[in-house]
């Protein structure tokens, strides 16, 4: 048996900020699936399907390595898209702050379980929406440029979680398997 896992920090964006973004996006005729407010997070590593036999060992290593890392402040700032405005599929809020030691610790603790270090550049972000239909690219591009420096929230990263993602017809359900406090 396997569980679909990822490592992340959960985020609570102010409801008024989310409402503002939703109003703007809807006014631009953009359609898609919004991430539920209680599921907002930034991901350090997506593991995919992991055998339940490895999970207790991963949890032990996770607690041991992550608990040594210090808390830090980050800022949720700016709105962007992946991969680009022309073919936007994901709408996100950026995460600014130094999270490289957390990312490195996660990658290192997973290596003995067969997870190679990721080669792509780590760009922490909070996914807000999976875009299905994009209209008015010029207006959307202008909106993104206006929002590039918008500050949404300053927060302290206090915890990192190993989370199970259970896919349902209504969207994913996230179940924290191990939540580790930073020191």
Distance CA 73, CA 97 (A): 7
Alpha-helical runs (H) found in the chain: 15-27, 55-66, 100-110, 137-147
The tokens for 105 are 């610790």
- Which positions are catalytic? 41, 125
Distance CA 155, CA 59 (A): 25
CA 151 to mean position of chain CA atoms: 17
């Amino acid at each position: 048996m396997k569980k679909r896992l990822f490592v992340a920090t959960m985020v609570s964006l102010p409801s008024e900020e989310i409402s503002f973004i939703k109003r703007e996006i809807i006014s631009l005729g953009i359609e898609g699936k919004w991430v539920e407010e209680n599921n907002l997070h930034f991901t350090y590593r997506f593991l995919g399907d992991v055998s339940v036999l490895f999970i207790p060992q991963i949890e032990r290593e996770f607690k041991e390595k992550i608990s040594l890392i210090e808390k830090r402040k980050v800022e949720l700032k700016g709105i962007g898209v992946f991969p680009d405005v022309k073919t936007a599929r994901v709408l996100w809020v950026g995460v600014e702050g130094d999270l490289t030691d957390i990312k490195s610790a996660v990658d290192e603790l997973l290596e003995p379980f067969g997870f190679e270090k990721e080669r792509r550049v780590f760009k922490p972000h909070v996914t807000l929406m999976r875009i299905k239909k994009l209209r008015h690219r010029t207006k959307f591009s202008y909106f993104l440029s206006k929002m590039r420096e918008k500050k949404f929230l300053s927060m302290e990263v206090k915890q990192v979680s190993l989370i199970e993602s259970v896919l349902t017809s209504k969207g994913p359900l996230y179940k924290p398997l191990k939540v580790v406090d930073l020191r």
